[in-house]
Amino acid sequence: MPVYERGYRSWEHSGGAGTPAWWAIARRGITDPLKSRRFLLLLVVAWVPAIVKGGILYFTFKMGELSKLIGGNWTDISSPGFRSFLEWQTPFVLIILAIVGSGLITKDKAENGLALYFSRPLGVRDYVMGKGAITLFYYFCVTLFPVLGLCVFGYLVTNGATGMDMLLLIPLKSLVYCTISGVCYSLVLLALSSVGTRTVFVALWWVLLFATDGLAEIMAMFAPSLKILDFPGQHLNMGVLFLGGDGIKGVAPVVSLLIVVLWMAAGALVLRRRVRPVEVVS
C-alpha cells in the first residue's frame, strides 16, 4: 500500500470566529420575509396603532381639551397605558409571528435541511437561538419598538415634562416584559414548528393557541380560575407585574408569570426532543 501523506497540508481549523452560527441563521431569517412587499405592508399596518397613539398624544398636548373628548388609554402615557397598547398589538403578534415563525423548523425538516445545519460547527442550541432570534425580532417589531418610539416621541412632544419615566423607566419595564413574553412566544412557536410537518398546520395550531382567549372566557363563566388557560391573556396579565394596570380578575399576575415560564419550559423541552441532526432510522 502506498504512503498517503505526500505533500498534504494539514488542515489548521482556520475557519475563523467571524460570525457566530446563531447570528448567521438569524440574519438570514430576518431578511427573508422583508423581500415580500405584502409582509412589509403588514409591518406598516402593525405600526398604525402606534402612529395613531402618537398623533393623539401630540394633539392632546397641543389642544388639551381633546383628551377629554377621546379619553381612555389612547391618551394615557403612563406604564398601564403602554400595557394597554401592547394588548392592542396582540392580533399583530398572532399574524406576524404565524407568518414568520410557522415554517422556521418545519421547512428545514421537510427539506431535510437539518443535516446541512448540523454537519457544520453548530449545536442544537445555536440553531434554536438563531431561529428564536428571528421570531423575537419580529415580536419586538410590533411591540417593543413601537413602545420605544412612542416613549421618545412623547418625551419630545411634552418637552421633557414626563421626565425619566418616559425616557428610562417605561422603556426598561417594557423591555423586560417584552423579552419574557417574546421568548415565551418564540419557544412555543418554534416547538410547534418542530412538531409540525406542514407550515399551514403549524400556523393553525398557533391560531388555536390564541383562540384560547375566547375559550377561557366562556369556561371562566363556570370556574373563574380556568382563565389560566388563556394563553395570550397570561402574557398580558403578567404585564401587570411590570407595567401596572388591571389584569385578569381571579388570576394573580405572579401566577401568570409562572404559567408563562411553564410554557417556555414546555417549548424548550419539545425543541430538545424534536430538533435532531438527522431523523432516526427505525
Partner 1 sequence: MNGVTPTGNGSVLRADRVSKWFGEVIAVNDCSLDLGPGVTGLLGLNGAGKTTLFKLLSGLITPSQGEVLVRGRALRREVGLFRGIGFCPESDALFDWLTGREFLTLMIRLMGFDGPESKIRCDRALELVRLSHAADARIGGYSKGMRQKIKMAQALAHDPEIIFLDEPLNGMDPVSRRDIAGLVKQLGDEGKCVVVSSHILPEIETMTRSIVLIHHGKLMAEGDITEIRDAIHDHPTIVAFDSPEPRRLASFLAGQELVMGVELDDLGRVVARTEHAVIFYRELPAKLLEADIPVSEFRTLDDNLQAVFDYLVGE
Q: Is 196 in contact with 205 (CB distance < 8 Å)?
A: yes
Distance of closest approach, residue 118 Cβ to partner 1, in angstroms: 6
Select the span of 17-25, 93-101, 190-198, 245-253 touching partner 1 (CB under 8 A). 17-25
- DSSP labels, 117-186: HHTSS--HHHHHHHHHHHHHHHHHHHTHHHHHHHHHHHHHHTTTTTTHIIIIIHHHHHHHHHHHHHHHHH
Please, what is the minimum distance in Å from the beta carbon of residue 191 to partner 1? 21
Spatial contact of 213 and 230, defined as CB atoms under 8 Å apart: yes
Give SS3 for 231.
helix
Stretch that binds partner 1, among 53-61, 137-145, 236-244, 274-282 (CB under 8 A): 274-282
Q: Cα(111)–Cα(279) distance, rounded to whole angstroms?
A: 12
Burial 169-197 (b: 16+ CB within 10 A, else e): ebbebbeebbebbbbbbbbbbbbbbbbbe
Min dist CB 115 to partner 1, Å, is 5
**Interface with partner 1 in residues 198-217 (CB under 8 A):** none
Minimum Å gap between C-beta 18 and partner 1 is 3
| Sole binder of partner 1 in the list 40, 44, 168, 278 (CB under 8 A) | 278
Give the span between the Cα atoms of 196 and 255, in whole angstroms.
Answer: 29
Distance of closest approach, residue 114 Cβ to partner 1, in angstroms: 8
**4 near partner 1, judged by CB under 8 A:** yes
Draw the binding track, 102-141, toward partner 1 (x: CB under 8 A; -: no contact): -----xx--xxx-xxxxxxxxx------------------
Give dist(CA 131, CA 199) in Å, integer.
15
- Find the part of the chain contacting partner 1 (CB under 8 A) among 16-24, 42-50, 77-85, 220-228: 16-24
275-276-280 Cα angle (round to 5) = 125
Q: Does 221 bind partner 1 (CB under 8 A)?
A: no
With binding defined as CB under 8 A, does residue 277 bind partner 1? Answer: yes
Please identify which residue in 3, 218, 221, 223 interacts with partner 1, judged by CB under 8 A. 3
Which of 2, 249 has the CB closer to partner 1? 2
32 near partner 1, rule: CB under 8 A: yes
Q: What is d(CA 213, CA 132) in angstroms, rounded to the nearest whole number? A: 24
Residues that bind partner 1 (CB under 8 A): 1-11, 13, 15-19, 21, 24-25, 27-28, 32, 107-108, 111-113, 115-123, 277-278, 280-282
